[in-house]
Amino acid sequence: MIRRTKLLGICGIVLIAVVGLTLGLVFGLQSDDDGNDAERSFTIDYDRDTFVMDGKDFRYVAGSFHYFRALPETWRTKLRTLRAGGLNAVDLYVQWSLHNPRDGVYNWDGIANVTDIIEAAIEEDLYVILRPGPYICAEIDNGGLPYWLFNKYPGIAVRTSDANYMEEVRKWYAQLMRRMQPYMYGNGGPIIMVQIENEYGAFGKCDKTYLKFLKQETDRYVQGQAVLFTVDRPYDDEIGCGRIDDVFITTDFGLMTDEEVDTHAAKVRSYQPKGPLVNTEFYTGWLTHWQESNQRRPAQPLAATLRKMLRDGWNVDFYMYFGGTNFGFWAGANDWGLGKYMADITSYDYDAPMDEAGDPTMKYTIFRDIIAEYIPLAVMPVPDPAPKMTLDAFSLTVVDTLLSPRGREMLGVEAPNKDGKLLKFEELNQNSGFVLYETTLPKLTRDPNQLTINGLHDRAQVYLNQFLVGTLARENAIDSLPLTAGFGTELAILVENQGRINFDILDDYKGILGNVTIQTFAEPYTMALEQWKITGYPFDDYSKVQRFVDTVSGGAGGDSRGLALYGPVVLKAAFDVSTTQIQDTYINMDGWGKGFIFVNGFNLGRYWPVVGPQVTVYLPKELLKPTGNIIVVVEQQKLPTDRMLHFSAKPILDEA
């Protein structure tokens, strides 16, 4: 049972100088079994290869849980399921970009209430492994680093000793870590481990000045009241690149043979000869991109790897134990595939022991039985899967299109651009959504003429005189298309941000990074287009969307030609839940094209069933009410003829 001294509220704690909070006698003490006060401590006995908690040997089996991928109303239920699975600790990444969405703006409410997830862990009898980054990867847009860093400091070198980056990290940690400080184990809280950076060796910079700085900033708040650690892959010299003096080393890997586990252990021992062995990311599944099959991992071979590690004395941290959902535009991308870019799907089910809705899977039961062989299980029942519901299908009404006069006025933000240059999302101080680039073509001297977008990030729908003439995509390395002479002179390019790369590359600017050219008759046979008008469609303020859809026009987008003529269509419907009890459900987008969905003002994320593998979109019951629900769909490329929306009681994640 996790014991903790009652923690004071943040407002009741006095901030003292640069070391943060002085916790005094309120923290660092617990009552032992005889009722006497005893000093709490969590340390490492390197000679005996073990963690030590309050003088007793300790071992953890933990699971990653991304609070930002689950509604806060569900945190406690999901952590209870995690605890019933045999785990005694929960691994928590902290997403900087969620909590610091704009320069100088901080968010600690709702899904960003990071202290509440710590409190939830305490209530569910779980220790906490805190992973504050500041870079976390996690298949989150930009690896969790705020986009506005690239607007404030063009050319900033993140994850290095760049002075501007380190200053922003310092400010961020002053906000985050002072909230975390009371929860360190030695101060009476559940946090036993605090990570410094994240798989830094894979980044390849090996900037020891930066790592030393980050250790100092972390220890400013931890102050020895929890164990500091790093995580690096057991390949090449990644552990050496990411290691920090006097910081505990851990590694990560997934499905492996017994021989491979031994090899990885030897790799860790070559840098850290003694101490407990820790796999901080034991991969239970894998990440999945649009346009590929669901990257599942088989249960039985994983179980064999788990048993091997536990038999050999490893501490194990499952990644993921519960994955959840990339709500909104938070899904990231990777530098893989044909175009060296692949966007992550909205579901982060990850083929984990708990599925996207938080229900136990076959892996949950198999892993729990193995854990029970090595660590006593909590005396608590394993929860049954929660019931799901299917709603009756209903049709949506077209409101209007993004590129209509009303769409431009109510949803768009025209950028001041007196020089007529192509501007990136970041230069517009825009995180995601779309940017519309417009100009007038000169007289074309070839027929057809090749239009090329150099540096397209990420996807573009190209219009001439409001008629769709083609789609270009970074994902598939398609950056040009022919234009027929005489067809029109008003060129419009609608560029979508499909998610910033989250691993290795961390300067993934969005929009048109180069120039836009057309062919000419004479050398150099291309001409760069100029004098651009730019309009952003960020979709980060739902109040604007609500005002837009409140009056249904049935105007320019009112027929199936709307997508071809006027750009993405916005649709709306009101619906009631007719069942006696509201449950989770899934919106089945089969027959639709590509877009995203709001339910009662909450952005559920992107859909793209025409390429898959994900077809359904998870709709948590907490977002619904018995009557008067409002759904808004932004469809970019294909409307079903009946505009019907269907539901399912099961997810469809494997139709690639």
Measured over the CA atoms of residue 138, residue 371, residue 261 and residue 360, the dihedral's sign is negative
Q: What is the CA radius of gyration of the chain?
A: 26
Among the listed residues 430, 400, 457, the one whose alpha carbon sits nearest the alpha carbon of residue 534: 430
Q: Determine the Cα–Cα distance for residues 50 and 315; give it in Å rounded to an integer.
A: 9
Instruction: Find the Cα–Cα–Cα–Cα dihedral 218, 214, 217, 170, rounded to 10°.
Output: -120
Asked whether 351 and 284 are in contact (CB, 8 A), the reply is yes
Active site residue 199: yes
Per-residue CA distances from 52 to 186, 230, 231, 277, 440 (Å): 12, 19, 20, 14, 70
Single-letter amino acid, residue 234? P
Burial class of residue 137, CB neighbours in 10 A (0-12, 13-18, 19+): buried
Q: Which residue has the tokens 């991304």?
A: 66
Q: Determine the Cα–Cα distance for residues 93 and 108; give it in Å rounded to an integer.
A: 15
Q: Determine the Cα–Cα distance for residues 500 and 308; give it in Å rounded to an integer.
A: 37
Q: Determine the Cα–Cα distance for residues 583 and 525; give it in Å rounded to an integer.
A: 61
Per-residue CA distances from 246 to 31, 119, 230 (Å): 31, 30, 11
Phi, psi of 646 (to 5 degrees): -115, 160
Asked whether 342 and 333 are in contact (CB, 8 A), the reply is yes
Beta strands in 386-520 (DSSP E): 394-395, 397-401, 413-414, 434-440, 449-453, 456-457, 459-464, 467-473, 480-483, 490-496, 511-512, 516-519
Active site residue 197: no
Reduced to 3 states, what is the DSSP secondary structure of residue 75?
A: helix
- CA 490 to chain centroid, in Å, comes to 37
Question: Which of 124, 139, 217, 281 is the catalytic position?
Answer: 281
Single-letter amino acid, residue 102? R
Q: Determine the Cα–Cα distance for residues 65 and 69; give it in Å rounded to an integer.
A: 8
Question: Which of 199, 238, 426, 635 is the catalytic position?
Answer: 199
Q: Which residue has the tokens 């997830």?
A: 117
Instruction: Using alpha carbons only, give the angle 477, 483, 488 rounded to the nearest 5 degrees.
Output: 135
Catalytic residues: 199, 281
